[in-house]
Amino acid sequence: MSTIPKTDTKQNIPTDFLPLEGTDYVEFYVGNAKQAAHFYMTAFGFHALAYAGPETGVKDRASYAIRQHKLTFVLTTPVRPNNPMADHIYKHGDGVKALSLRVNDATGAWEETTQRGAKSYMEPTTLKDNDGEVVMSGIHTYGDTVHLFIERKNYKGVFMPGYREWSNPHFKTTDTGLQYVDHCVGNVDWNQMNPWVKFYEDVMGFKNILTFDDEDISTEYSALMSKVMSSGNGFVKFPINEPAEGKKKSQVEEYLEFYNGEGVQHVALATKDIVATVRDLMSRGVEFLKVPTSYYDDLLERVGHIDEDLEPLKELGILVDRDHEGYLLQLFSKPVEDRPTLFFEIIQRKGAKSFGKGNFKALFEAIEREQEARGNL
């Protein structure tokens, strides 16, 4: 890939050839979209937004769009067998299909990325209805996962053409304070982290902003390596993990085995009040990984002063880490499917722009206890 970056002649600095405005939505392919949408609404506090399916002229699938603040999920299921959606679910179980990115120009985004070597998933396509138009395009990334580019500046409808507004006046959910996607992590195969880092650099103009090697992320038994890729403006962050050699099977290997390949490991959801959000999620049945209470014995010595009381953090198992810019609070759910694959992270940033390196060891030991219980360590 030898494309020379475009240059802003006034300042003589490379311009961002793929300016991303953020995550537009995360689309999951699931075995039963109606029930999955209900789970995310009741357990995670999303509200109903829009529906597409046979009744709206979309013959091959049912899709439910749900929203909470700036966070939009789409749950999609095929209504017949023998198609790529059904194959995806057969192979991977429920999982993330599309990390959709908001752009000002979906045609340009597709041209810039495919010229740089991306494999096209969807050529620029204009969808129209009475509320205007949405232009979509898409490229493949790791595994069967794709990035869709969504241009919606000329659209004022509830979600997208093909969808109709969807609500149930008898069923109202209250939100849990989840605000937006902070980052999405991909698990890739042995020795595939660096090729995918290069893909995000060359094809999407991302930068590698942080690297964790197996020394940083290892326990007595297992290890992984990770590099964090960030879009030019920092709005979109994709850490990429690969397994590393350890005495036993690492969590990334377990994922690759049960997902049947590479895919999204976790989506991190931001909150402004992690204690309130996690307490609410737990009361609705969301299950989280637990670190031993000894984690809290010397927490304040490790991270210094924090605004929060220690007691609720300890009660809920919320983790804290500090970097040179501030600190962050985070907690990881258990997988949200029966396969040990996709899970969620809840994160509150207080200045820190990092990813909780100081928590990796305690966390991975917690994950290994779960792997052990599944017989997969």
Interface ranges with Fe ion (CB under 5 A)? 268, 345
Least distance (Å) from Fe ion to the CB of residue 2? Answer: 34
Terminal-to-terminal C-alpha distance of the chain: 40
Phi-psi region of 82 (alpha: psi -120 to 50; beta: other; left: phi over 0): left
Least distance (Å) from Fe ion to the CB of residue 79? Answer: 34
Least distance (Å) from Fe ion to the CB of residue 48? Answer: 28
Q: Strand 13-14 relative to strand 7-8: parallel, antiparallel, unpaired?
A: antiparallel
Structure tokens at 30: 């699931």
**Closer Cβ to Fe ion, 85 or 291, answer by number:** 291
Q: What span, in angstroms and rounded, lies between the C-alpha atoms of 14 and 230?
A: 16
**Closer Cβ to Fe ion, 148 or 264, answer by number:** 264
**Closer Cβ to Fe ion, 72 or 333, answer by number:** 333
DSSP class of residue 165 equals: E
What is the torsional sign of CA 177, 279, 73, 100? positive
**Closer Cβ to Fe ion, 63 or 330, answer by number:** 330
Q: What span, in angstroms and rounded, lies between the C-alpha atoms of 326 and 306?
A: 10
Least distance (Å) from Fe ion to the CB of residue 184? Answer: 9
Least distance (Å) from Fe ion to the CB of residue 253? Answer: 18
Least distance (Å) from Fe ion to the CB of residue 142? Answer: 16
**Closer Cβ to Fe ion, 159 or 360, answer by number:** 360
List strands edge to edge, sheet with 237-244. 207-212, 223-230, 237-244, 178-187, 263-271, 343-350, 326-332, 319-323
**Closer Cβ to Fe ion, 280 or 345, answer by number:** 345
Least distance (Å) from Fe ion to the CB of residue 185? Answer: 5
Q: For 128, phi and psi rounded to 5 degrees?
A: -125, 145
Q: Check if the beta carbon of residue 302 is closer than 8 Å to that of residue 222.
A: no
**Closer Cβ to Fe ion, 135 or 267, answer by number:** 267
Q: What span, in angstroms and rounded, lies between the C-alpha atoms of 94 and 30?
A: 4
